[in-house]
Amino acid sequence: MIGVRNAKLLRRFGMHIRDLRTRHGFSQEGLANEADVPISQVGRIERGEINPTLSTLNALAEAFKMPLHDLLKM
C-alpha cells in the first residue's frame, strides 16, 4: 500500500514524466517502445499509481536521452 506522503510524491513525479514525454514529442506508446517498458506501466507511472523501480527509471532516462539524475529533478 502506498502511504499518503508517497502518493503525493508519486503523483508529482508522474506529472513530471508526462510533461517530459509531451515535451519530447512521445505518445505513451512511443515512450513505452523507446524505453522497452509496457505501455500500461507508463500510464500507471504518470497517474502516480506505482513506484517505478530504479531500472525502469533508468530506461525512461535513456529514452529521454538524459542522465538519470536529471530525470529525478522535478
- Examine residue 70 and state whether it is found in any structural domain, yes or no: no
Per-residue pLDDT reduced to its tens digit, 20-36? 999 999 999 999 999 99
First to last CA, the chain: 24
Phi-psi region for residue 34, left (φ > 0), alpha (ψ -120 to 50) or beta? alpha
Dihedral Cα 41, 46, 49, 53, nearest 10 deg: 60
- Examine residue 24 and state whether it is found in any structural domain, yes or no: yes
- Examine residue 74 and state whether it is found in any structural domain, yes or no: no
Least confident of 6-10, 19-23, 44-48, 60-64: 6-10
- Examine residue 73 and state whether it is found in any structural domain, yes or no: no
- pTM here? 0.92
- Examine residue 46 and state whether it is found in any structural domain, yes or no: yes
